[in-house]
Structure 1
Amino acid sequence: MNCFCCELCFYNMYIFENPVLQRELLVNLRTNRAIFLLAAYQILLAIIVVAAWPSDERLDLSTSPPSATNLVNLFFLGQYVIASLMAPSFAAGAIAGEKERKTYEMLLASPLRPGAIIAGKMIASLTHIGMLIIGSLPIIVLCLPLGGFSLYEVLAAYAGLIISVILFGAIAVFCSSYFPNTSNALVVSYVAILPLVIGACLVWVFLADEGNLRLNLATIVFPAFGLTGVILMCAFSAQRLLYPPDMGSEGKEVFDLEEESKNAVGLVIQPDQFPDRLFAPPKKESLMADGANPVYDKELHSEIFSQGTLMLRLVIQISIVLAIPMMAVFLFFMPEHAPWFGVYVIVFNMLVGPTFLASSITSERERQTLDLLLTTPLSPVQILWGKFLVRFRISLVLTCFLLWPLLLGAGFNPDLYSNWLSMLLMLLIVLSVCVVNCVIGLVCSLFSRKTSVALLLTYSTLLILYVVPPALAILTRMLNFTNQTYAVIDLCGILSPFSALFALPLDQSVIEDNVMRNAGNMVIVTLYFVVSALIILIASGAMILNLRSRRGLSEG
C-alpha cells in the first residue's frame, strides 16, 4: 500500500499535477506557431513521399523492391534529421528562457523539486515534437503496401527516432541550465548533437542490408544508451537547480573570468596570449582613443564575454576533437572525398556564426537601449560596422581553428598539394560562407524583435540557401529524372557552398568515377562567388536604408 501511494505521489508531482508542465503545455500548444509547424511538417514529409514514390509500373512484392526501400529510407532519414534539428530549438530555452525573462529566481523559490521542474520542462518541450512524429504515421502507412520493409522495421525506426528526440531534448535542457541565454545553449546543443545525428544516419544507411542487426541496434542497444544519457542529463540539470550559481542583479549569474579560468577543465582562454587575443581581448587599461568607433569598443570588451567563456571553450574543444578524425579520413586516407571536410567546416560555421550576429540588434531592443543608440551622432554604417566586425572576428577565428587540417592535408598529401588551386578555392568558399552567414544573421537581427526569433530565422534562411539545392539534386538523381532537369537543379547550386565544393576540379589520380558528378564545373564555383557578393551587397544596402529611415526601430 505504501509503495502504491509513493508511486501515485510521484506521478502527481512530476506529471499530472506539475504546474510547470501544465503551464508550458498551454503556452506552447496554443500558439499559432504550433499549428503552422504541424502543418508544415506534414506537408514537407508528404512532398518527400510523393516525389520519391516509385515510378515502376509493376512492383514484385515477393522480394524487396529497391524503389520502395529507397522511399522508406529517404522518409525516415528526412524525418530523423528534421526532428533532430527541431528538438534543441524547443528545449534550449527551457531554463535559459527563465533567466532571460528574469523569472529564474521565482522558479528556484517555488516549492517544486528540481527534478519535477526539469521533468515538466522536458516533457512540455518535447510534446510538440512527439505530436509531429505521431502525425507522420498515416503517411508511412501509405507506403506499407509497396513492400520492401516490415512492420517491425517501421516500429524500430520510430522507437529509435523517439529515443533520439528525447536524448537530444535532454542535452538541450542540460545546456540550458548552464548558460545564461537561449542562443548559447542552442549552439552548444547543436555542436554536441551534430556528430550523434551523423553517426546514426550512417549506421542506418550502411546497415540497410543487415536487417536483424539494425533492428537489434534500434530496439535494444540504442534505447539502453539513450535512456541512460537522458537520466544522467536530467540528474545533472536538477543538481544545477538545487545548487544554483551566485546570482546578481535582475537574476543574472555572476561571472568572474579569472575564477572561471582557474576552474576550467581542458582549454583555458588567455586574452594576453596568441591566438586567444584574436577573439578574447584583454582588459582595458586606457581610455578609448579619439576617433575610435564606440560601438566597436563596447562590443569588443563587454558584450561577448560578459557572460563567461564556457560556450566558446566547449565549442572550440568539441569542434577540434571532431576535426582530427575527419582530417585523417577525408584528407589523407580518402582524398577523393576531400570536399566533405569543407562541408564539416561550413556546417560548423552555420551553427556557430549566426549566434553572435543574431543578437547584435535584438539585444539592444531587449535591453531597451535601441532608441539611445539611434539618437547618437553615429552613422548607420558605423553602427553596423562596429557590431559586425567584432562578432564576425570571433566567428572567423573559431572557424579558422578548423582550417589548419586543410592546410596540413594540402601541404603533406601529394594527392592534394597537386590540386593546390582547388584547395585554395575551397578555403575561399569557407571564408565567403563566414561573411555571408554573419551578414544574414545581422539582417535577421535588425528586422526581428527577439533574439530567439532572429536566430531561428537565420538558421531557416541558411538551410533554404545551402541545403535545399543539393538535396534537390540528390533527389532528382534518385528518381532518374531527365538530363534537362539535372541541368536546372545543378544551376540552382550556385546558391549553396556545398554544391560549389563538390564542383571543384580534382585530378583524375584523386577522383574516382561517379564520386562527384559535377567535379570540374567551374561555372557553378564562379557563379557561387558572384551570388554571394550580391547577397552581401543587397543585405548591406537594406540594413543601411532601414537604419536611416528608422522604420520599425523605435521602441516608443
Structure 2
Amino acid sequence: MKANLTNPVLAKELKLRFRSSKSFIGILLYLIAMCIFVFGFIYTTTSLSGTVYFKPSESVILFTFLTFIQLGLVLFITPGLTAGTISGERERQTLPMLLTTSQSSFQIITGKLLSSVLFLLLLIVAGLPVYSMVFLFGGISPVLFVKSLLFLIVTLLAIGSLGILFSTLIRRTTVSMIAAYGSMLFFTAVVPFLFLIVIQVNQLGAMGSTLSKSYLGHVLASINPEIFFATLLSPELEMSLQEVTQVHFPLWIGYLVFYGLVAIISIWIATKRLRVNMKKRR
C-alpha cells in the first residue's frame, strides 16, 4: 500500500529543486521585493495623505495590488517551470530511461507537475506573513483572503497542467514554452479583448432597448483571471458585469469548472501521450 502511494519521480524532483541554492535565493529576492513594495506603499500613502496612520480603504488598495502581483507571479512563472519538464528529459536523452522504470505515466506526469507547482506554492506561502500585514489595518476579511489564495492555487494547477501538456506533446523545450506562454496570453489578453467586443456588439444591438442576455460575454468574463479576480475583490463590479451581460450566474463557479476541466484534461492527455512513441516502436 505504501509503495502505491509514494511517487519516486516527485521525491527526486523535490530534492533537486529544493536543495538548489538558486531556489532559495529566488525566494529571498521575492520576499525582499514584497517587503520593499509593501513598506514603500505604506510610507508613500501616509506621506501623501499627511497622516501617521494607514486607513482601511488604503489597506484594501494594498491588498488588491498584492493579489494581482501574486496572480502575475503564477501566470508568468508557471509556464516557464512546467513547459520544459518532459521535453527537457527528452532533449537530455533521459526520458527513455525514465519510461523503462516501473513508474506509471500518471506518476511521472503528476510528479513533474507537483514538483513545479509546490515550488511556486512555497513562494506564495513564504509571502503570506508580508501578504497578511493588511489585516493590521483592517478593511479586509479573512474569508476574502482565503478565497484569493484558493483561486490562486486553482489557477496555478491549471496553467501548470497546460505547461506539462505542451511539454509532452512537443519535442523541443523552446517551442513548448512558446506554446505554454501563448496559451497563457490568450486567457489573459485575448479573452478580455473578445469580452469587450462581445459586450460592445450586444450594446449596439440593443439600440436603447433592453439588453439581451450575452452568455458568451459571461463565459469570457468567467475564464479571464484578471476580470475574475477583480470581481472577487469587488462584489460591486460583479453586479455591474451581470447587469451588462444580463446573466445572473456566479463567476466563481464558471472559473472553477473551466480551469478544473483544463487541469484534468491536460493531465489525462499528457498521460496518454507520454508513451505513445514507445508503443509505436514496439
Larger radius of gyration: 1
Tell me which residue corresponds to 1:348.
Answer: 73
| CA gap 1:437/1:308 in 2 versus in 1, 3 angstroms | same
Taking structure 2 as the reference length, the TM-score comes to: 0.74
Unaligned residue ranges in structure 1 (runs of 5+): 1-288
1:169-220, Cα deviation, whole Å (9 max, x unpaired): xxxxxxxxxxxxxxxxxxxxxxxxxxxxxxxxxxxxxxxxxxxxxxxxxxxx
The within-5 A match list for 1:333-482 is 333=58, 335=60, 338-409=63-134, 411-417=135-141, 420-474=142-196, 481-482=204-205
1:410-441, Cα deviation, whole Å (9 max, x unpaired): x3344322xx4443322221121111121111
One-letter code aligned to 2:15: H
| CA gap 1:445/1:324 in 2 versus in 1, 3 angstroms | farther
Q: Does 1:499 align with 2:227?
A: yes
Tell me which residue corresponds to 2:11.
Answer: 297
| CA gap 1:456/1:320 in 2 versus in 1, 3 angstroms | farther
| CA gap 1:492/1:537 in 2 versus in 1, 3 angstroms | same
Quick one: distance in 2 between partners of 1:547 and 1:435? 19
Quick one: distance in 2 between partners of 1:534 and 1:524? 16
Equivalent residue for 2:255, pick from 528, 538, 547: 528
Query: Which structure's relative contact order is higher, taking Cα pairs within 8 Å and 6+ residues apart?
Result: 2
Counterpart contact for 2:56–2:138, Cα < 8 Å:
no
Q: Does 1:518 align with 2:241?
A: yes
Deviation of 1:341 after TM superposition, in Å, equals 3.4
Quick one: distance in 1 between partners of 2:15 and 2:146? 34
Deviation of 1:346 after TM superposition, in Å, equals 0.7
Counterpart secondary structure, 1:415: coil
Quick one: distance in 2 between partners of 1:316 and 1:436? 25
Counterpart contact for 1:504–1:519, Cα < 8 Å:
no
| CA gap 1:481/1:331 in 2 versus in 1, 3 angstroms | farther
The within-5 A match list for 1:245-284 is none
One-letter code aligned to 2:194: L
Quick one: distance in 2 between partners of 1:487 and 1:383? 39
Quick one: distance in 1 between partners of 2:59 and 2:198? 26
Range 422-431 or range 315-324, more displaced: 315-324
Counterpart contact for 1:465–1:495, Cα < 8 Å:
yes
Quick one: distance in 1 between partners of 2:60 and 2:125? 21
The within-5 A match list for 1:179-328 is 292-302=6-16, 308-309=22-23, 311-322=26-37, 325=40
Superposition RMSD on alpha carbons, in Å? 3.8
| CA gap 1:468/1:484 in 2 versus in 1, 3 angstroms | farther
What is the number of equivalent residue pairs in this alignment?
259
Quick one: distance in 2 between partners of 1:445 and 1:484? 42
Range 394-403 or range 451-460, more displaced: 394-403
Quick one: distance in 1 between partners of 2:65 and 2:200? 20
| CA gap 1:484/1:334 in 2 versus in 1, 3 angstroms | farther
Tell me which residue corresponds to 1:276.
Answer: none
Counterpart contact for 1:436–1:535, Cα < 8 Å:
yes
Quick one: distance in 2 between partners of 1:544 and 1:528? 24
| CA gap 1:450/1:485 in 2 versus in 1, 3 angstroms | farther
1:346-397, Cα deviation, whole Å (9 max, x unpaired): 1111122222212211111111111111111111122122222222110111
Counterpart contact for 2:38–2:62, Cα < 8 Å:
no
Identity %: 20
Counterpart contact for 2:56–2:137, Cα < 8 Å:
yes
Counterpart contact for 1:320–1:402, Cα < 8 Å:
no
Quick one: distance in 2 between partners of 1:326 and 1:432? 28
Quick one: distance in 1 between partners of 2:3 and 2:198? 59
Counterpart contact for 1:422–1:505, Cα < 8 Å:
yes
Unaligned residue ranges in structure 2 (runs of 5+): 46-54, 206-210
Deviation of 1:315 after TM superposition, in Å, equals 4.4
Deviation of 1:549 after TM superposition, in Å, equals 3.5
Deviation of 1:312 after TM superposition, in Å, equals 4.9
Quick one: distance in 2 between partners of 1:301 and 1:333? 41
Taking structure 1 as the reference length, the TM-score comes to: 0.40
Deviation of 1:340 after TM superposition, in Å, equals 4.5
Quick one: distance in 2 between partners of 1:532 and 1:475? 23
More helix by share: 2
